[in-house]
Amino acid sequence: MDTSPVFWEQQRQTRLQQLHFHDIALASPTQRTTIRDHLLQDIDAFASLARTFKSYVNLTNSISRLPAEVMTHIFRLLTEVDRYNSYASGLGWITASHVCHSWREILLGARDIWAEEIGTIPHWRAISTFLRRAGDDLPLRVSVESSGIAQATSIWRGGRSDFPLRRAHTISWEIDDEKDVEPFLKKFAGENWPKLKKLETRIYDSGEEPEDYKFPVAKPFCAPNLCMWTSESLYIPLRAQSMVTLDLNGWFPLCTTIPTSATGCMRHWTV
């Protein structure tokens, strides 16, 4: 199959030469309808040929012959790149899955990738799609950020009771609006988080003093498997007997408020 631009230009010129526009203008309505139908058939034929050609190119590309395990690893690397482009309108690893059917099947089969990217795109439609593709059993990595998108903020402010936040093994929660502090307290204070292993909380300056976000008398949240908590300008009590790293930045209560059950295995402790 000749795939050069010259070949396709010759085909186009040949087809145009077969069309005599003066004769078409003088033709009867029935004849013009017939000519139009033939042209539409040509368009469909070329579209089909283009799809076939695209599949042919994809199959002959060396990267398409890589094992599924290697492609899955590549997709995971792409997710790491996209993860730092917070709340992007599009994700490169999803775009890559549209290249060909085999790539899409590989990505759809990698449920753990979808489970690690909950919240990367804040729209609820995208989040619900990610959750569905992650399945009902895998722990989740959840990114929670303030956003001007109403669908996103409603999730974190309790507007979506069906959001399975308790399945999260990692939560990154960033707050830049005072209104979002209370939902955080409602989610965590006095609650149990058996799957949570890593928690990142951060409050950006919104005109309030950092000490306004200390809640030493709040009921502690219990996270028996929590290994790391990094927090900036936010503190509530916790019980975490598996804690290894605790990094609290800002003005916080005295260290005596940290439960002794967390200090036995502590390796890194910054207040």
Find the domain containing 18 and state its range: 5-60
Instruction: Kindly state whether residues 29 and 108 are assigned to the same domain.
Output: no
Q: What is the structure's pLDDT at 45?
A: 81
Judge if 190 and 127 occupy the same domain. Answer: yes
C-beta contacts of 202-208 below 8 A and 24+ residues apart: 202/173, 202/174, 202/175, 202/231, 202/232, 202/233, 202/234, 203/174, 203/175, 203/176, 203/232, 203/233, 203/234, 204/174, 204/175, 204/176, 206/176, 206/177, 206/178, 208/178
Q: Residues 140-149: what's their mean pLDDT?
A: 73
pLDDT digits (tens, 9 = 90+) for 84-133: 555 556 678 888 888 878 889 999 999 999 998 887 777 778 888 899 99
Tens digit of pLDDT for each residue in 29-54?
Answer: 888 788 788 888 888 888 888 888 87
- Both 217 and 264 in a single domain? yes
Q: Which of 17-26, 41-50, 174-183, 252-261 has the weakest average pLDDT? A: 252-261
pLDDT of 86: 53
The CB density around residue 140, as the number of other CB atoms within 10 Å, is 23
Contact assessment for residue 153 and residue 146, using Cβ atoms and an 8 Å cutoff? yes
Residues 111 and 167 in one domain: yes
Considering its fold, how many domains does the chain have in total? 2
What is the 3-state composition of the chain as percent helix, strand, coil, each rounded to the nearest 5? 50, 15, 35
HEC string of 91-120 equals: CHHHHHCCCCHHHHHHHHHCHHHHHCCECC
Whether 70 and 195 share a structural domain: yes
Q: Average pLDDT in the 153-161 region?
A: 64
The 8-class DSSP code of residue 202 comes to E
Looking at the fold, whether 39 and 72 belong to one and the same domain comes out as no
pTM for the model stands at: 0.67
Is the same domain home to 115 and 191? yes
Report the alpha-carbon distance of residue 124 to residue 121 in Å, rounded. 8
